Amino acid sequence: MSDDTTQTNTAARMHSVTDETRGIVDLVLDYSRRRILADDTPLDHPSTEAELKRIAGATITEEGLGARRALGLFEHVFAPACITTDHPQYLSFIPSAPSKAAIAFDLVVSSSALYGGSWMEGAGAVHAENEVLDWLASEFGLPEGAGGVFVQGGTIGNLSALVAARDSARAARSERGLGDPEGGWAMVCSAEAHSSNKSAARVMDVDVIAVPGGDDGVLHADAVRAALEEHGDRVFAVVATGGSTNFGIVDDIAGIAALKDEFDFWLHIDGAYGLTAMLSPLGRPFFEGVERADSVIVDPHKWLFAPYDVCALIYRDPELARRAHTQHAEYLDTLTETDDWAPSDYSIQLTRRPRGLPMWFSLATYGVAAYRDAVTHSLELARQIAAEIERRPGLRLVRDPQLSVVVFERDGWERGDYDRWSAKLLEEQRAFVVPSSHAGRPNTRFAIVNPRTTFEHLTAILDSME
């Protein structure tokens, strides 16, 4: 065999179907099957950088470790150093609880070499994703023709929506022969709005008018009205929160939406966590007014049972977003000169995988009713455990839950007490519940999204506080 032939075979080694490749695939699929079908996966816990380096050693070498050793390192060293976010007793931040069908289909997406940025390259995938987006838009009361794209997460979704909002406002002023407003553009949101909205403002170099919520934590319409009257045509968008991360609070969306009758602004609903509650009759009443939004986001990896990472970004009028986001280049002309639906035209991302497909497969497999039941379970459980907390001496609800986040305090505990308690829970592999705070007071919280979480799980955690 010539040197050239040997070099060619070596260069193609990673991409050829050989006995080595078959062995790699068998190893990976066997591990994936065991992980997906396991019902006793531990919570696990983080390790220090020094500990991981000591145990694993150097894993990137010139000759490679081989698949068996590399997978063994992942399974026995790296994976146990990651907390299991789909564990039913993972109750911090906002957990993830992907359905088994969604997890399994994520393997299919990865193995199929799909590109989801254009209709030309991914028509079938884009069609399936758009069916999910159409269903969500209908659930949220948006009109026929609403649509958008699945992006990486809520931060990208909020930024993309706000870029489209400013572009739309700028175009409207240009039509009247006006430039940008004196003092520059500004957006209005609650002081409790998610940090990603303020991050988007920094990226866009626009001002944030942070309006305090009421005593109930809700951003009310009268406070938004005052901000609109004070800042006038500088305001290109108002962001209302559809379920805050810390408390699950829903702003006065109906009242804020009604202000569109008097003021010209783009209404964006940041429903990354909470908008999913509209699937349940218990949650839908909190969201009156969403149907008037110009854009909304919801993260399926939070409460719609999809794997990380995916955000559904939906526009009332997708054409306004397309004008703001379509990228132009000579090599893209074949895509941009058609009327085909190109997902990359609706966000700041050009390159994208069809990250909505695992959710499509799960919905198509189980049906919408299963989703409604799962969301309702979380809402009912939150109310049930809130009542239990109220009943127990020494515990106090910080606020009655609207959705599925329950925040509470232990009488007499300082931050250090919460820290020690939380660390012990994780050390004993009983639960992952971290401290939080509100108005300078330490507390803790249950964020309930996993249908496998039970009342008994939660009461056992409360028992550990006594």
Indicate if 368-463 has the same CATH topology as 106-366.
no
SS3 state of residue 70:
helix
Class of the CATH-defined domain 368-463: alpha beta
CA–CA gap between residue 358 and residue 366 (Å, rounded): 12
CA–CA gap between residue 129 and residue 142 (Å, rounded): 17
Of 312, 362, 348, residue with least CA distance to 133: 312
pLDDT mean across residues, the chain: 96
Domain boundaries, the chain: 16-81, 106-366, 368-463
pTM: 0.96
106-366: CATH topology? Aspartate Aminotransferase; domain 2 (3.40.640)
Residues 281-303 have pLDDT tens digits of 999 999 999 999 999 999 999 99
Per-residue model confidence (pLDDT) at position 329: 83
Question: Residue 94 corresponds to which amino acid?
Answer: I
Taking only Cα atoms into account, the Rg of the chain, rounded to an integer number of angstroms, comes to: 24
Measure CA 38 to chain center.
25
DSSP assignment letter at 114: -
Backbone angles phi, psi at 96, to 5 degrees: -120, 140
CA–CA gap between residue 161 and residue 158 (Å, rounded): 5
Place of tokens 């639960």: 431
Quick check: 5 pLDDT over 60?
A: no
Q: Which residues contact 262 (CB under 8 A, 6 or more apart)?
A: none
SS3 state of residue 112:
coil
Backbone angles phi, psi at 125, to 5 degrees: -65, -45
Residues 108-133 have pLDDT tens digits of 999 999 999 999 999 999 999 999 99
CA dihedral 290, 159, 244, 266 (to 10 degrees): -30
Average pLDDT over residues 154-160: 98
**% of the chain surpassing 90 pLDDT:** 95
CA–CA gap between residue 288 and residue 253 (Å, rounded): 7
Per-residue model confidence (pLDDT) at position 179: 97
